[in-house]
């Protein structure tokens, strides 16, 4: 999904002027917002993975985690589509403000998910015996990824919420291509590259639902 997100964002930048000249306005917003929504789904999938590890380690049920992930993401897409439809029907600035505020809330919730489950997993790993094999590496991975993802989602939350009330702070404008590039580099490109680098070794396939201690 990372490649899909970055591919869509690259197409948006490649057709920068064309995108902002597209009419109706709702279609322009779809092209600008869709990569961000997919970015949310991609990284909440990582939160789901960590939540499953934590719940299994604590011998807690995990059967509700995946349905919750699908329900939350389904609700986000449903609300976002409704906003796009409302934008198409009304064609006013209120719909754009609603879209930005909604995405700000979504970004904050993603950051909160990383704080909760990334933090819990980090604390749990710290309680492992110091001599445990791979403990330090896992601590590094979870700590760095949690910090990176929380930072990028909080930056996005702050910028989007400010732009909802201040048009001069809007990064999605034809007049500020460099600002637009810097913003998406900070909140999408660099975090994606760092996370992929840190987690470049894929976890082994799970053979059972039981938790196995980290070796």
Q: How many structural domains comprise the chain?
A: 1
> Which range marks the domain in which residue 98 is found?
2-198
pLDDT at residue 207, as a whole number: 43
Among positive and negative, which fits the CA dihedral 95, 112, 197, 210? negative
Instruction: Tell me the percentage of the chain whose pLDDT exceeds 90.
Output: 30
pLDDT at residue 93, as a whole number: 77
Is residue 208, in this structure, part of any structural domain at all? no
Is residue 103, in this structure, part of any structural domain at all? yes
Average pLDDT over residues 162-168: 79
Is residue 212, in this structure, part of any structural domain at all? no
pTM here is: 0.80
Asked whether residue 214 carries a pLDDT value surpassing 70, the answer given is no
Q: How far apart are CA 18 and CA 28, in angstroms?
A: 9
Average pLDDT over residues 74-85: 93
Is residue 205, in this structure, part of any structural domain at all? no
Q: What are 94's two structure tokens?
A: 């209120």
Is residue 206, in this structure, part of any structural domain at all? no
Which class for 191: exposed (0-12), middle (13-18), buried (19 or more C-beta within 10 A)? Answer: buried
Is residue 204, in this structure, part of any structural domain at all? no
pLDDT at residue 41, as a whole number: 92
Is residue 140, in this structure, part of any structural domain at all? yes
Is residue 144, in this structure, part of any structural domain at all? yes
* pLDDT tens for each residue of 123-161: 888 887 666 667 788 888 889 999 999 999 999 999 888
Average pLDDT over residues 164-168: 76
pLDDT at residue 215, as a whole number: 46
């Amino acid at each position: 999904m990372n490649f899909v997100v970055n591919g869509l964002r690259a197409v948006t930048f490649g057709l920068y002027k064309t995108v902002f000249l597209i009419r109706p306005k709702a279609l322009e917003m779809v092209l600008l917002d869709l990569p961000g929504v997919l970015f949310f789904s991609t990284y909440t999938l990582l939160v789901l993975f960590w939540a499953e590890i934590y719940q299994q380690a604590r011998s807690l049920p995990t059967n509700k985690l995946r349905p919750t992930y699908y329900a939350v993401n389904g609700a986000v897409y449903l609300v976002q589509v409704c906003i796009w439809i409302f934008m198409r029907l009304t064609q006013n600035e209120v719909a754009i403000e609603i879209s930005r505020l909604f995405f700000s809330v979504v970004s904050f919730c993603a950051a909160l998910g990383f704080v909760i489950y990334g933090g819990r997993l980090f604390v749990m790993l710290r309680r492992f015996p110091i001599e445990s094999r791979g403990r330090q590496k896992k601590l590094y991975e979870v700590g760095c990824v949690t910090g990176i993802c929380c930072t990028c989602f909080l930056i996005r939350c702050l910028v989007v919420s400010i732009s909802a009330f201040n048009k001069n702070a809007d990064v999605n404008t034809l007049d500020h291509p460099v600002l637009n590039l810097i913003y998406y580099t900070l909140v999408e490109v660099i975090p994606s590259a760092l996370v992929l680098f840190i987690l470049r070794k894929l976890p082994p396939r799970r053979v059972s639902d039981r938790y196995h201690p980290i070796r």
